[in-house]
Amino acid sequence: MKEITTYQNKKILVLGLAKSGVSAAKSLHDLGALVTVNDGKPFEENPEAQDLLALGIKVICGSHPIELLDEDFFMMVKNPGIPYDHPLVKKAQEKGLPIITEVELAYQISEAPIVAITGTNGKTTTTTMVEHILNAGMSGQQAHLSGNIGYPASTVAKKAKKEDCLVMEVSSFQLMGVRQFHPKIAVLTNLYEAHLDYHGSWEAYVAAKWKIQQNMTSEDFLILNWNQKEIQELAQSTQATVVPFSTKEVVDGAYLQQGVLYYKKRPILSVDELGVPGIHNVENALAAIATAVLWGIDDEVIADTLRTFAGVKHRTQYVGKVDDVAFYNDSKATNILATQKALDGFDPHKLILLCGGLDRGNDFESLVPSLKGVKAVVLFGQTKYKLEEAAKKAGVSTIRFAENAEEAVPLAFELSQKADTILLSPANASWDQYRNFEVRGDRYISAVKQLKKEKKE
């Protein structure tokens, strides 16, 4: 960790805890800052705040009093999930107070260079692929997962050595709060409409994502999805050296041609060898290949790692087989686009889809083309009847209902035959029945394990 003096004896307000807020508060405290933490959860229900108080950090919990800003703060570190129209944030902006997110702090203190990965879909899988490949191919160094993937960036930055690297997943929320942030390699996996309630417009969302490259120079590499015209246009406005990847055409980077993944005319491995299914995972793999090659990893190491890569939990994750029926967990598919991409990776005639969840008012007309040819669907949650209409329009002949994702497992298995696949890809958020998509996925995995146990008995 760089021992910077920027924040020594400076008053800094950390707004919102969770993992990144706790990490930022501790890191700033270590750097000699006079930290005040403000979190909405009451102190007696807030173990994180209690721990910070024990370290000597000032803690204000249970509300967000505007008068907090009467103090002469040097800076605010905002939890990424807190919107910019929050009263305390708006007041800070009016006062001209600098507002950053925790990934900016991580960059400032990190001795290790950063590989930063963002995008609407695929960033977690790509980040994990890159970390696996770099750790397989580097000697005496370590690639550290960090950022939006669940490992607070400033905590990881403190322990990373100069010869290591941070492989950092960054969200649009986090990128809105960067100033000096400067990755050595950056990846933009794709851009689709998302989080418009937070950003206010498509243009603002794209601008937030594009901040990943704002401080990069021609000595840095920006890996971009050349399948998207919008991204090709953005590429005209960067100082970084652009490296494209594409599944649709041969480009001066990573590309797919006749079932083989290449990097600049060098074959790396075939699509059939990839450890995870789906054209979206081909895109993720191409981005990871470009990153790894630029980092100096041998082609064979890249290929070997991608052959054995089994995916990220809850993201088209292979769970196992029961009587030669394969189970996949794609609980992270909380929108239609994610489920469409998952369905692209399987033979529909041998596929049973488990789908449903929170009703946000949308219809599922756009899912109809992806459902055509699917062997059967098992539907649950608030949207089950809307999904039934979509399945009927797609010509799906076998439609069943279950109480929830775990109860759908034995019902789907009854409908299956050998060599079939059962896929949980809900196309909906989980909050009608589960605390989050992770709980939904874990319940599904447990149900598959229970089914396997029963079949052995």
Is residue 13 exposed (0-12), middle (13-18) or buried (19+ Cβ within 10 Å)? buried
Q: What is the CATH number of the domain that holds 191?
A: 3.40.1190.10
| Residues pairing with 105 in the sheet | none
104-108, 195-199, 304-308, 366-370: least confidently modelled range:
195-199
Distance in angstroms (rounded) separating the CA atoms of residues 296 and 291: 9
Q: State the average pLDDT over residues 229-256.
A: 98
Query: Is 118 in the same domain as 263?
Result: yes
- pLDDT confidence of residue 311: 82
Distance in angstroms (rounded) separating the CA atoms of residues 443 and 118: 29
Query: Is 289 in the same domain as 422?
Result: no
Chain centroid offset of residue 60 CA? 31
Q: Find the angle CA(419)-CA(421)-CA(427) to the nearest 5 degrees.
A: 170
- Who contacts 238 (Cβ-Cβ below 8 Å, separation ≥6)? 213, 216, 222
DSSP conformation class of 351: E
Query: Is 77 in the same domain as 186?
Result: no
Q: State the average pLDDT over residues 254-267.
A: 98
List binding-site positions.
119-125
CB burial readout 390-425, b (16+ within 10 A) else e = bbeebebeeebbbebbbbbbebbbebbeeebbbbbb
- Who contacts 169 (Cβ-Cβ below 8 Å, separation ≥6)? 117, 118, 123, 124, 127, 145, 146, 147, 148, 149
Q: What is the CATH number of the domain that holds 401?
A: 3.90.190.20
C-alpha distances in Å from residue 367, one per residue of 96, 142, 227? 46, 41, 21
Residue range 324-354, pLDDT digits in tens: 999 999 999 999 988 998 998 899 999 999 9
- Who contacts 439 (Cβ-Cβ below 8 Å, separation ≥6)? 430
Structural domain contains residue 120: yes
Q: Domain residues for 389?
A: 317-456
- Who contacts 74 (Cβ-Cβ below 8 Å, separation ≥6)? 7, 10, 11, 12, 33, 98
Model confidence at 196, pLDDT cuts 50, 70, 90, reads: confident
- pLDDT confidence of residue 343: 94
Structural domain contains residue 222: yes
Higher pLDDT, 103 or 313: 103
Residue range 41-90, pLDDT digits in tens: 999 999 999 999 999 999 999 999 999 999 999 999 999 999 999 999 99
DSSP conformation class of 163: T
- pLDDT confidence of residue 345: 85
Q: Which of 100, 135, 152 finishes a domain?
A: 100
Query: Is 292 in the same domain as 193?
Result: yes
Residue range 396-453, pLDDT digits in tens: 999 999 999 999 999 999 999 999 999 999 999 999 999 999 999 999 999 999 999 9
Query: Is 272 in the same domain as 134?
Result: yes
Structural domain contains residue 5: no
Contact between 171 and 40 (Cβ < 8 Å): no
Query: Is 193 in the same domain as 331?
Result: no
What are the tokens at 397?
């002949």
Comparing CA positions, the residue from 361, 400, 396, 399 lying closest to residue 382 is 361
Q: State the average pLDDT over residues 98-110.
A: 97
List binding-site positions for ATP.
119-125
How much of the chain, in percent, has pLDDT values that exceed 90?
91
Structural domain contains residue 3: no
Query: Is 275 in the same domain as 415?
Result: no
Structural domain contains residue 74: yes
Distance in angstroms (rounded) separating the CA atoms of residues 405 and 425: 10
- Who contacts 384 (Cβ-Cβ below 8 Å, separation ≥6)? 356, 401
Structural domain contains residue 143: yes
Chain centroid offset of residue 351 CA? 26
Q: Is the pLDDT of residue 193 over 90?
A: no
Contact between 14 and 35 (Cβ < 8 Å): yes
Comparing CA positions, the residue from 353, 380, 358, 357 lying closest to residue 368 is 353
Model confidence at 222, pLDDT cuts 50, 70, 90, reads: very high
Could you give the count of Cα atoms lying within 13 Å of 438 in the half-sphere of its Cβ?
A: 3
Q: What is the DSSP string of 164-202?
A: SEEEEE--HHHHTT-SS---SEEEE----S--HHHHSSH
Structural domain contains residue 2: no
Residue range 364-378, pLDDT digits in tens: 999 999 999 999 999
Query: Is 321 in the same domain as 298?
Result: no
Query: Is 329 in the same domain as 372?
Result: yes
Distance in angstroms (rounded) separating the CA atoms of residues 221 and 184: 7
| Residues pairing with 423 in the sheet | 328, 353
Instruction: Spell out the long-range contacts of 449-457 with Cβ–Cβ below 8 A and sequence spacing 24 or more.
Output: 450/409, 451/322, 451/409, 451/410, 451/413, 452/320, 452/322, 455/322, 455/323
Q: Which of 279, 308, 337 finishes a domain?
A: 308
Q: Is the pLDDT of residue 183 over 80?
A: yes
- pLDDT confidence of residue 408: 98
Higher pLDDT, 255 or 150: 255
What are the tokens at 231?
């991204």
Model confidence at 197, pLDDT cuts 50, 70, 90, reads: confident
Structural domain contains residue 139: yes
Query: Is 47 in the same domain as 132?
Result: no
Chain centroid offset of residue 85 CA? 24
Comparing CA positions, the residue from 123, 163, 129, 164 lying closest to residue 147 is 123
> What helix, strand, coil percent values describe the chain, rounded to 5?
40, 20, 40
* Number of domains the chain contains: 3
Query: Is 299 in the same domain as 173?
Result: yes
- pLDDT confidence of residue 249: 98
Q: Which of 308, 339, 361 finishes a domain?
A: 308
Q: Is the pLDDT of residue 194 over 90?
A: no
Mean pLDDT of the chain: 96
- pLDDT confidence of residue 310: 82
Q: What is the CATH number of the domain that holds 31?
A: 3.40.50.720
Query: Is 96 in the same domain as 114?
Result: no
- pLDDT confidence of residue 175: 98
End-to-end C-alpha distance for the chain, whole angstroms: 54
